[in-house]
Amino acid sequence: MVKIEDVLKNFKSNLNRERKNRILEAYEFAKKAHEGQKRKSGEDYIQHSLETALIIAKVGMRSKTIAAGLLHDVPEDTDKTLEEISKKFGEEIAFMVDGVTKLGKIKLRGSQEEYFLENTRKMFLAMAADIRVVIIKLADRLHNMRTLDHVPEEKQQRIARETMEIFVPIADRLGIGEIKGELEDLAFKFMDHENYNKVKHLEDKLYQEIEKYIQRTKEEIEKDLRREGIKIIEIKGRAKRLHSLYLKLQQHDMNIDRIYDLAAVRIIVPEIADCYETLGIVHKKYHPLVGRIKDYISLPKPNGYQSIHTTVFGPEGKILEIQIRTKKMDNEAEFGIASHWIYSEQEKISWKRFFFKGKAKFPEKELVWIKQLREWQNEIGRDDDEFLSGLKIDFLKNRIFAFTPRGDIINLPEGATPVDFAYMIHSDIGSRTMGAKADRKIVPLSYQIQNAQVIEILTSKETKKPSQDWLTFVRTSNAKAHIRKELKKYEEMAKKS
C-alpha cells in the first residue's frame, strides 16, 4: 500500500516547504473527494491516485505535476469541480487535470478503429499542448495496467491493445524507457497470455544462472576499470524484458539456446571521455563482435537517448551486451523528457515556459519534434486517414539519421526518400529538387535512404512543379502536404490562364 510519504520520499528535486505543502494539500483534497469510493480491486480509490503520483515522482516531475496526478480523477469521479481545483491550486494545475480528464472522456462510438483513432488524436493533441498531461496519463495507464486482472477479459484485450499501439510508442518517443518497458510487458501479458507464460517460464528457469553471470561480469569489469583509474558511479545488470525476449525468440524458432544476449550490463561513469576510455578497457578484456558497436553518444536516437552499446564475448565466451553512459544519460534513458526537470532545477527554468497552454518555447533540441508535431497536426487538419497514417509514419515509426554534405543531421522515418529529405531541409529545396546523390552516387528520387548516409539534393535555379508521381513514394506528411499544395497552386494557375 502506497502512502503519501512514499511520494515525497521519491521527489527528485529540492523538496522545499512550498512544494511539500502543495503535494500534501492535493493529497488531502483528493482523499476527501474520493472518500468511500473503491476500485474494482477492492482498494480505496485514493490508492490509484497515490500510485499515479508515485510513478510521476519517480520519473522526476515536480510538485505541480505530482499534485495534478493526485487530483487527476477528482472532477470526473467526484462532486468536486475543476473550478474548485483551479481556485485552490491555481490555473496551471487545473489545466493539467482538465487535460487528463478530457483524455479519459473518449467514448466508444462505432467501430474499434474509430475509437482507436479518436483516442490517438486526443493523445497527440494533448502532447502538443502540454507534455505534462501525457506524462500523467502514462502514469495513470501504468497503474491501470498493473491492476488489469480485475476488469472483464473483453476490456482487458481492448486496453492492452491500446496500450501497445498508443502508450508504448509515446513512452518510447518521450524516451521514458522504464515506463515503456513495463507497459510493453503488461500489454503482452493480456494480449497473448499463452506466449507470455511460455517466455516467463523460460526466463524464470534461467533467472538464477543469469543473475550469477551478471554478478561475475560486473565484478570482473569493476576490477579492470578501477585498476585503470576509471571512476565508477555504478555498474548494474538486468535480464532482457519479456516482450523483447519474445520478439528475439520468434526470430530463432522459440529456441532460447540460440539467444545469446539474455543479459546486459550497464556501466555508469562521470564524463563522456570516461565512456570511450571504458569502451577501450572493456574491449581489451572481452573480444567485441564485429559490427555490433553502436555509438549513440555522438549520434543520439531521435528521442534523445545516448549511450554506447557493444556486444562482446564475456566470461566463459558467452555473448553479452554492455552499455556505457554517464549518469545524466542514464537518467534521460529511464525518465526521458521528464529528466529535463532534474537538470533545469539548477537553471531555475519554469516548465510552463516550455509548454503551459501551448505557449511553447523549445530551448532543448530533444523537444523539437514536439514543435514539429504541432505544426504537422495543423497542416493535416481533420482528415482521419491522413492523420493516422501520418502519425504512424512520422512519429511512431523507427527513425533513421541522414546527413547533409555540410554534416547537419536530418531525422527521418525509415523508408524516407531524397524528396522527404529535401522538404525536411526547407520547402523551397523540395520545390526545386531535380535529383539526388547518396554517399556521392546518383540515386533515383524514390530511393530509400539508409541510416547515416550523406544525401546531396540537386536543385534547379527556380521553383518547378513537383511531379504527381512523388506522392506515390514519399513517406512523410510534411513532404506530401507541400507537394499537394504546390500541385494545387499550379492547377489554379492553369485554370486562370
Highest-scoring range by mean pLDDT, 337-346, 364-373, 471-480: 471-480
- Answer whether residue 359 shows pLDDT above 70: no
| Active site residues per annotation | 76-77
Read off the pLDDT of residues 223-243 as tens digits, 9 standing for 90 and up: 999 999 999 999 999 888 899
Q: Which stretch, 97-106, 240-249, 334-343, 488-497, has highest mean pLDDT?
A: 240-249
Average pLDDT, the chain: 83
Mean pLDDT within 288-307: 85
Maximum mean pLDDT: which of 268-282, 414-428, 483-497: 268-282
Q: Give the pLDDT score at 16.
A: 93
The pLDDT of residue 373: 56
Query: Looking at residue 193, what is its pLDDT?
Result: 92
Place 382 in a pLDDT band, splitting at 50, 70 and 90: very low
Across the range 429-442, mean pLDDT stands at: 93
User: Alpha-carbon distance 320 to 214, whole Å?
Assistant: 9
Q: List, by residue range, all CATH 3.10.20.30 domains of the chain.
A: 365-496
Residue 100 pLDDT = 87
CATH number given to 194-336? 3.30.460.10
Q: Between these two residues, 376 and 42, which has the higher pLDDT value? A: 42
Q: Poorest-confidence range of 192-206, 288-302, 383-397, 483-497?
A: 383-397
Share of the chain above pLDDT 90, in %: 46
User: Is the model's pLDDT at 368 over the cut of 70?
Assistant: no
Question: Is residue 255's pLDDT more than 90?
Answer: no
Q: What is d(CA 293, CA 307) in angstroms, rounded to the nearest whole number? A: 11
Average pLDDT estimate for 102-112: 56
pLDDT of residue 366: 42
Q: How confident is the model at residue 323 (pLDDT cuts 50, 70, 90)?
A: very high
Which CATH superfamily is 365-496 part of? Beta-grasp domain (3.10.20.30)
Residue intervals of the chain classified under CATH 3.30.460.10 are 194-336
- 103 to each of 32, 34, 99, 321, how far by Cα in Å? 24, 20, 6, 39
Q: What is the reported pLDDT for 123?
A: 62
List pLDDT tens digits, range 275-287. Answer: 999 999 999 999 9
pLDDT of residue 291: 82
pLDDT digits (tens, 9 = 90+) for 138-177: 999 999 999 999 999 888 988 898 888 878 888 887 778 8
Which ranges in 228-367 belong to alpha helices (H)? 242-251, 272-285, 327-335, 339-344
CA–CA distance, 264 with 240 (Å, rounded to integer): 7
Residues of the chain with CATH 1.10.3210.10: 4-191
Q: Any idea which architecture 4-191 has in CATH?
A: Orthogonal Bundle (1.10)
Cα 346 to chain centroid, rounded:
25
| Residue 408: its H or E element | none
Residue 390 has pLDDT above 80, yes or no: no
pLDDT digits (tens, 9 = 90+) for 336-358: 766 655 444 444 444 444 444 44
417: cell is 526518400
SS (H, E, C) 163-221: HHHHHHHHHHHCCCHHHHHHHHHHHHHHHCHHHHHHHHHHHHHHHHHHHHHHHHHHHHH
Percent of the residues in the chain that have a pLDDT greater than 70, as a whole number: 81
Highest mean pLDDT among 160-174, 293-307, 454-468: 454-468
